[in-house]
Amino acid sequence: MTSRALAWRTAAAEPARAALAIAGVAVIGALLFDMLMLSQGLLVSFREMLDTSGYDVRVVASDVFPARVDLTNASEVAADIARLPEVRQVTIVRTDRAVVLVPGRAPTDVALLNLSPGAERQGWRIVDGADLGALGPQESAAPAVISRQLSRALGLSPGSPLPLRALASGAASALPIVGFTVVGIADFQFENDGPYVLATTFEAFQRARASVSSDTADVILVASRPSIDASATVAAIAGRRRDVHAFSNEQIVERFNENGFAYFRQISFVLSTITLGFAFLLVATLLTVAVNQRLGQVAALRALGVSRRRIASTLVWESALLVGTGGLLSLPLGWILALGLDRILRDMPNIPDALHFFVFEPRLALWHLALLAATGLAAAVYPVWVATRLPIAATLRFETVS
């Protein structure tokens, strides 16, 4: 009989103990799996979100990202960057705060968004109606594409009038109400639980702001040519324009990793360590108790010439069996738990819909199983030491007398 078979028979002989250990490891393992997903989830999700927009470089006015300073002369900067041989496409992104004043409804805060013409398809996807070019030049109302959420909240549909007042800092009440018309309803890529999103043309955007600001932008999005690495584009922009700062998606993710997401990483590290500690204590305790219950058997086996190696490998297999089964069960359990936790965390304000806290990656599952395997091995060390180093004669004497 092999050590593995002996371990299996030992575990099966005490189903309650085995079930307790497996259930404990499954629950603890599920938490560990979730912590591993949390440690990388935001980064992976954020990177995916940036990458799927189709732009690999972002240009802002300051050396921090996201920038809190408007980029001036945006059109000129964008045109200059567009002339670089590394660059395929440039898009100016402008946002401002505004309030929608639909009669019979409470004033509703919105984020007024404007992208360079032609970039709309990368910012939103029309689900009803038409895109911004739908209104002819003779139309007096400004076109607006609104989010589904805004459409639902205010009962708006394509063709609905939409009075709007932009909110400029310190001059909010002075700005006039501008008449917009809803031309389409869309899913916006970066929409979150913050203000509803409303996109419009540059002309309408300027009209809403009543020339309070000049040609400014929050960010300029740059797409490199297919054969060009984003870092080369960043270097080219830095060489051409000293007054702006360019960041590749990789650099932005790294900055968020160092700053904004560091809390989650630290929390997940601490909780992962604690859960591994619990798994270690659970398995080590159960195995140690089990070994102590059968010291007489172990001593008898040693007296019959069964080697220390066989005793040790049987216990390691028993640990592997309990931790392995619990570990496998922990994957679906952790996944279900992660879905619930992700939903709770994404309910926080200002979290974009496309952003997730818990993201599954195959390598995380492998890490999870490797960590549990290492824990199982470590948990077997003390019981193995007890079983293989016990004094045979003294144990037989004690077990017989007791």
The distance between the two most distant Cα atoms of the chain, rounded to a whole number of Å, is 106
* Closer residue to another protein, CB minimum distance, 161 or 391: 391
Distance of alpha carbon 393 from alpha carbon 21, whole angstroms: 32
Which phi and psi angles does 57 have, rounded to 5°? -140, 140
Task: Report CA 49 to chain centroid distance, whole Å.
Answer: 10
Q: Strand, helix or coil at 306?
A: coil
- Among residues 212, 260, 211, which one has the least CA distance to residue 66? 260
User: Is residue 95 within 8 Å of residue 111, measured between CB atoms?
Assistant: yes
CB of 297 to another protein, least distance (A): 6
Query: What residue has token string 């000129």?
Result: 76
Distance of alpha carbon 22 from alpha carbon 327, whole angstroms: 8
- Among residues 132, 230, 113, which one has the least CA distance to residue 181? 132
* Closer residue to another protein, CB minimum distance, 7 or 246: 7
Distance of alpha carbon 20 from alpha carbon 322, whole angstroms: 9
CB of 283 to another protein, least distance (A): 19
* Closer residue to another protein, CB minimum distance, 32 or 301: 301
CB of 291 to another protein, least distance (A): 14
* Closer residue to another protein, CB minimum distance, 226 or 305: 305
* Closer residue to another protein, CB minimum distance, 164 or 286: 286
Distance of alpha carbon 316 from alpha carbon 379, whole angstroms: 9
Which are the contacts of 140, defined by CB distance < 8 A and separation ≥ 6? 179
* Closer residue to another protein, CB minimum distance, 134 or 300: 300
CB of 3 to another protein, least distance (A): 10
User: Is residue 121 within 8 Å of residue 199, measured between CB atoms?
Assistant: no
Report the phi/psi class of residue 306: left, alpha or beta, with left for phi > 0 and alpha for psi in -120 to 50: beta
Query: What residue has token string 């990793």?
Result: 257
User: Is residue 57 within 8 Å of residue 231, measured between CB atoms?
Assistant: no
- Contacts to another protein by CB under 8 A: 1-2, 9-10, 12-13, 296-297, 299-308, 310, 391-394, 396-397, 399-400
CB of 390 to another protein, least distance (A): 11
Element (H, E) at 80: helix 74-82
* Closer residue to another protein, CB minimum distance, 18 or 199: 18
Which are the contacts of 137, defined by CB distance < 8 A and separation ≥ 6? none
* Closer residue to another protein, CB minimum distance, 238 or 303: 303
* Closer residue to another protein, CB minimum distance, 17 or 265: 17
Contacts 24+ apart (CB under 8 A), 289-297: 290/10, 290/14, 290/17, 290/318, 290/383, 291/315, 291/383, 291/386, 291/387, 292/386, 295/387, 295/390, 295/395, 295/399, 296/395, 296/396, 296/399, 296/400
CB of 313 to another protein, least distance (A): 12
* Closer residue to another protein, CB minimum distance, 5 or 177: 5
CB of 393 to another protein, least distance (A): 4
CB of 326 to another protein, least distance (A): 20
CB of 22 to another protein, least distance (A): 17
CB of 304 to another protein, least distance (A): 5
